[in-house]
Amino acid sequence: MQPNAQRSQVYSLDPARFPDLNLAGTGEVGVAGYFMDHAVNCKDLPVRTVCSSTCYRAETDTGRETWGLYRVHHFNKVEMFGVTADETGEESSQLLEEFVSLQKEMFSALELHYRVLDMPTQELGPPAYRKYDIEAWMPGRNSYGEISSASNCTDYQSRRLNILYEREDGSLQYAHTVNATACAIPRMIISILETHQTKDGSVHVPQVLQPYLGLEVIEKPKYSPLKYIGPNQHSRPPRPGSNTR
């Protein structure tokens, strides 16, 4: 399962010890694998699952936005994954809309300024029959940035992973699969902090998060207790000169 990713974006383990073993770029891979070579009883469809997983992507090797949180090679993400029947052809489309409605509900509760894009065919990877991207306004970038997506893959994945469902008469049919990102942690942090930061540097905590954080406002620190001075940053402070004695 490589959703139209460049091979250079995939982390491979030592081929001498682990032939053809890679690090997953999304939780969708593992959850889809959970259903591999299994038939779901039609009475339980649609199956809705969610997982929290670590994801690995060699995106920073592409030379695009190598600093900051927007493109990182190691991050956590909450992923939604669904398995539906294919009797009318509308089951997976309905689940896709349900997942998108959940995404919109979450991002609205976080008081983000976002937009939903119905992606054109040239923007779809091989697995996707239909795909939505959700972008939030990020003032630090002065542009929208993708924070989530949702895809209806119909039977693309199920045929390759042998995911079926069992009808009431006992016959088997290939299922449809749907996936959607609930929360990609780094970009969610960017969106929340930049959307709710004020001119004095403090951050208003969205009301839905206040019970968890125990704060209404995050005050701007008076100083930086630890400051990164390594090479991977937008602007590097001058280095100290040599100390001659």
Active site residue ranges = 57, 71, 146, 149, 187
- Listed residue (67, 42, 60) closest to 174, CA to CA: 42
What kind and span of H or E run contains 102? helix 91-109
The identity of residue 222, as a single letter, is: K
Interior/surface letters 97-132, b for 16+ CB within 10 angstroms, e for the rest: ebbbebbeebbeebbbebeeeeeeeeeeeebbbbbb
134, 107 contact by CB (below 8 A): yes
3, 125 contact by CB (below 8 A): yes
Interior/surface letters 83-95, b for 16+ CB within 10 angstroms, e for the rest: bbbbeeeebbbeb
Q: Hunting for tokens 């997953």 — which residue is that? A: 24
Q: Hunting for tokens 């039977």 — which residue is that? A: 155
Sign of torsion over alpha carbons 138, 63, 23, 85: positive
Q: Hunting for tokens 């009797």 — which residue is that? A: 87
Query: Is residue 42 exposed (0-12), middle (13-18) or buried (19+ Cβ within 10 Å)?
Result: middle
